[in-house]
Structure 1
Amino acid sequence: MTSEVTLSSSAPASGHATGRPPLSREMWDGIAPIYSAILDHPFITGLVDGSLPRDAFRHFVVQDSHYLRDYARALAVCAARAPSDDGVRAFASDAVGAIAAEQEMHAAFMEGLGGTAEQAAALPVGPTTRAYTSYLLATVYGGSFLDGLAAVLPCYWIYARVGEALLERSSPDPLYQRWISVYGDEAFQGVVRRVVALADQAGEEATDAQRAQAREHFTTTSRYEWMFWDAAWRRESWPV
């Protein structure tokens, strides 16, 4: 893939003037076991071979609709705190895009599952969804721009990598293939490359301690990504 920022586990070859590697490389290398576990999760493998139960996919779509509403808010905060005009435009645009995805893509998926977007919105927010979005919002509001960027980045980057990997395998199920196509699409890959580049730019100005904190946020929300798919697989609900 020819671009200034790669989506593979190897980040851009150029590093910081002080000799530090790009922050994106450090972050991605740090979650290699998490990403491997995501690809091996039965929810993901079930998308590819078509064996994923419809109820599990329905749970995912419903919770993703809830998630994207708060994710859009997190992106809006990142836009407000971005130090450059490029960052403001990027995150503001993506915040709008997250709402559009909720309204359009999820409505289409719910229709394919025999339901409606209104029915999905009426269902409760699950435990993992609540925990994930609470962490995101706490980080973007309470931390620095780099903290917030690191926290929102896995939702971009992991979905792009998963979509890219699954696109090569396809799916015999038309509904699941539609989902794979959305995130494997080159347009989405380009959006992610742009955000990864913003992370590297912010990382160049950060101290080692600030970069370490950003990596911790990135790792935490990467774990939440695995947990989100696992919650859908288990059809997670509140225990009491």
Structure 2
Amino acid sequence: MAGKAPGHADMGLLVRHAAATVDVELTLHESLLPELDIDYAGAAPAGPTTRAYTSYLLATAYGGSFADGVAAVLPCYWIYAKVGAELGRCGSPDPRYQRWIDTYSADDYQTMVAEVLDLANNIGETLCTTEEIRARSHFTTAARYEWMFWDAAWRRETWPV
């Protein structure tokens, strides 16, 4: 998606975000998985909802415009920030869950979200009506998938066949 950015500043922003996300997520997962007795190498394949969601994001970022890609990934940024900030107010007695909360309530993450919200707002000002409708549709679909992703984890969703 960053490769479709209309300028170097936007490209750099998204590349920095991607690198930071990989670093933070890997560190978080590498610490949590052993504590939860989960062997990453032997983990189950992605479930139906996760596969559908990630496939949707990839297809939108690859096949759509820069605005489409930003609209599709925005819910992931924004929802984690909102949930992280809310949970950060009350915390958790479980230190593993608290590490997750700390990650998404952290000032660094909240700053990244503010940056991508600014980017989305700036892009939105340039869209014609048709492009705006399409971007809003991608945002809505991705927000639904984000909810379904969390629900699938809650239900411990697996492939039915």
State the TM-score, normalizing by the size of structure 2: 0.95
In structure 2, the residue matched to 1:45 is: none
Residues 24-80 of structure 1: CA deviation (Å, up to 9, x unaligned): xxxxxxxxxxxxxxxxxxxxxxxxxxxxxxxxxxxxxxxxxxxxxxxxxxxxxx210
CA deviation after TM superposition for structure 1 residue 175, in Å: 1.1
Identify if the C-alpha distance between structure 1 residues 102 and 186 changes in structure 2 by more than 3 Å, giving closer, same or farther: closer
Residues 90-125 of structure 1: CA deviation (Å, up to 9, x unaligned): 1111222333234321111102212343334xx211
* 2:125 match: secondary structure: helix
For the pair 1:178 / 2:122, whether they are aligned, the reply is no
Equivalent residues in 2 for 1:1-240, closer than 5 Å: 78-120=1-43, 123-240=44-161
Identity of aligned residues (%): 52
Output the amino acid matched with 2:41: E
Contact kept? 1:136, 1:148, Cα under 8 Å: yes
Identify if the C-alpha distance between structure 1 residues 210 and 154 changes in structure 2 by more than 3 Å, giving closer, same or farther: same
Contact kept? 1:107, 1:116, Cα under 8 Å: no
* 1:141 match: secondary structure: helix
Kindly report structure 1 stretches of 4+ aligned residues shifted beyond 4 Å: none
CA deviation after TM superposition for structure 1 residue 189, in Å: 0.1
* 1:205 match: secondary structure: coil
CA deviation after TM superposition for structure 1 residue 142, in Å: 1.1
Residues 173-228 of structure 1: CA deviation (Å, up to 9, x unaligned): 11111111110111100001001101111111111221111111001110111101
CA deviation after TM superposition for structure 1 residue 232, in Å: 0.5
The whole-number CA distance in structure 1 between the counterparts of 2:63 and 2:9 is 22
Segments of structure 2 that go 5 or more residues without pairing to the other structure are: none
The whole-number CA distance in structure 2 between the counterparts of 1:115 and 1:180 is 20
Output the amino acid matched with 1:101: V
CA deviation after TM superposition for structure 1 residue 163, in Å: 0.3
Output the amino acid matched with 2:55: S
The whole-number CA distance in structure 2 between the counterparts of 1:222 and 1:156 is 10
Q: How many residues align?
A: 161
The whole-number CA distance in structure 2 between the counterparts of 1:131 and 1:158 is 18
State the TM-score, normalizing by the size of structure 1: 0.64
